[in-house]
Chains A and B, each alone.
Chain A
Amino acid sequence: MPRIVFIERGGGRREIDAPLGITLMEVARQHGVQGIVAQCGGACVCSTCHVYVDPSWFPKLEPRDEMEEGTLENALEPRANSRLSCQIHITADLDGLEVTVPERQREDL
């Protein structure tokens, strides 16, 4: 199983072995990673599973599609390396992937 690194709110580091075939959001949610709200549960409509992907990893991921681009515009403080974690599917290539959870998500407002 690929190991995923989440940098949680406040800077804590959490490493989770992720099963193949599920999404990064689901990994975070099942394990209760702080700050991954995932209100819509993966339908790509709420933006509250927003993460920042480590810049060295960002180009290795499948690019964002149009739907994700649209929903990301609603995320708080999106950056060039922003992704919705519900749109990232866990594959063996993602071993070591590091993502940072934003200090705030849209639902916190």
Chain B
Amino acid sequence: MISTILIIGGGQAGAQAIDTLRREGFAGRLVLIGDEPSLPYQRPPLSKKYLSGEMAADRLVFRHQAFYDEHRVELKLGRRAVRIDAAARQVELADGEMVAYDRLLLCLGAESRRLPCPGATLPGVHYLRGLRDVGPIQAGIKPHGRVVVIGGGYIGLETAATCRGMHCDVTVLEMADRIMNRVVAPRVSQYFAAEHRTHGVNIICDTRVVRIEGAGKAERVICADGGSHAADLVLVGVGAVATTELASAAGLACDDGIVVDEYCRTSDAAIYAAGDCTNHPSPRFGRRVRLESVDNAFEQAKTAAFNLLDRPVAHDRVPWFWSDQYDNKLLIVGLTHGHDVEVLRGDPASRSFSVCYLKGRELLAVEAVNHSKDYMAARKLIAERAFLNPEKLADGALGLKEAV
């Protein structure tokens, strides 16, 4: 008999698990522990409309308090879980309270990878992960202030675009030879680099940050090539690492994330995990993955909820991702790993194009820039393991489905 389900982590996954558990009829005690004081909220606007001030904090929350009251969800917010006692099936909070569970769901998320160089802990060096990070960044942004972004990934570039909209001078420093090198094809990197330059962002690739200097606060970012970049504010976006301390201390298997199976089960029969913190199998792609995305948090949380209620459902979805930069929408579906063919569809100069990745003729992934049609079609085709003709694919006038 499952009388108490305890969820740790009030992000996208935790919030979704609550929804699905109640919708699927779980009538027992449901408790959410979250270390942030706010009601569960969505993170994607933090680097965009929330940072710019266009969107107020009350628009970030998924549900109002009344929803949690009505669905009898006990919220323990602003409370940190410090220990899982897996043998006794209870969780200890920082203030000493013990919360017992029959089933535990870990939605611990990920945290910003820290810059290891000297000066990285100076005031004025910021990371962007949660609501609490945004206020200090906003306070440090002045019109015509100089913002140096370290790392040309999603968060760095979205923040760069937002800061340009707030009339800052923005420099992006990227270690690789192109921005977003880990997540998109060279052609897509090139397009976004050009967009940023058109908007006045100074993008510098192939450069490694060696230290941050300043008298009592960050004032300059120094690179290995001798470059010195004056900064009023430094934003670091160099990736994220799964939050696993609680899980590993409790003896759960962890390996670049909390190891779960396709049913979101950890190595402890009473403990499940979902979202950015998990390392999970992708049946579609035949390997283990750790994904940082809204979609994965949402889908895994749903899957976990069903399995928590002893209704076996396997997580087998094609992952997707998006990024907004200026008026561009980048949509990515699938995983490119193992591809041997890359096909460009459409003309980047038209501002709407896509890049398809195939292994032989099997479609693995599509990156679509302002091209929702190809993205939508690809979601279905990749799930179905469709085989396409690369020559026909190159004809952008032909629909993806017709390229067989």
Contacts and interface: CB of A to CB of B under 8 A. Distances in A.
A14 B294 CA distance: 28
Contact of A73 (B23, B44, B62, B373): B373
Given A39-B294, A41-B294, A67-B329, A31 B42 contact: no
Nearest to B321: A45
Contacts of B26: none
A30 B64 contact: yes
Given A39-B294, A45-B331, A29 B66 contact: no
Nearest to B67: A32
Given A30-B63, A70-B372, A107-B298, 14 more contacts: A22-B59, A29-B63, A31-B64, A32-B70, A39-B298, A40-B44, A40-B294, A41-B42, A41-B45, A45-B329, A45-B372, A73-B372, A73-B373, A74-B376
Interface of B: 23, 42, 44-45, 59, 61-64, 66-67, 70-71, 294-295, 298, 302, 322, 324, 329, 331, 372-373, 376, 379
Which residue, A29, A32, A39, has most C-beta atoms of chain B within 10 A? A32
A26 B298 CA distance: 17
Contacts of B71: 32
A54 B319 CA distance: 34
A45 B298 contact: no
Nearest to A70: B372
A91 interface: no
A31 B294 contact: no
A70 B329 CA distance: 12
Contacts of B302: 107
Contacts, number: 53
Contacts of B63: 29-32
A42 B294 CA distance: 12
Which residue, B331, B372, B379, has most C-beta atoms of chain A within 10 A? B372
A45 B45 CA distance: 14
A21 to B, nearest CB: 8
A70 B377 CA distance: 11
Contacts of B66: 31
23 contacts: A26-B59, A29-B62, A30-B61, A30-B67, A31-B63, A31-B66, A32-B63, A32-B70, A34-B23, A39-B294, A39-B298, A40-B44, A40-B294, A41-B294, A43-B322, A43-B324, A45-B331, A70-B372, A71-B372, A73-B372, A73-B373, A107-B298, A107-B302
Contacts of A73: 372-373, 376
A34 B23 CA distance: 9
Contacts of B70: 32
A39 B70 CA distance: 22
A28 B31 CA distance: 23
Q: Which 10 A-B pairs have the closest CB atoms?
A: A70-B372, A41-B42, A32-B67, A74-B376, A30-B64, A45-B322, A39-B298, A22-B59, A26-B59, A32-B63
B295 A39 contact: yes
B372 A41 contact: no
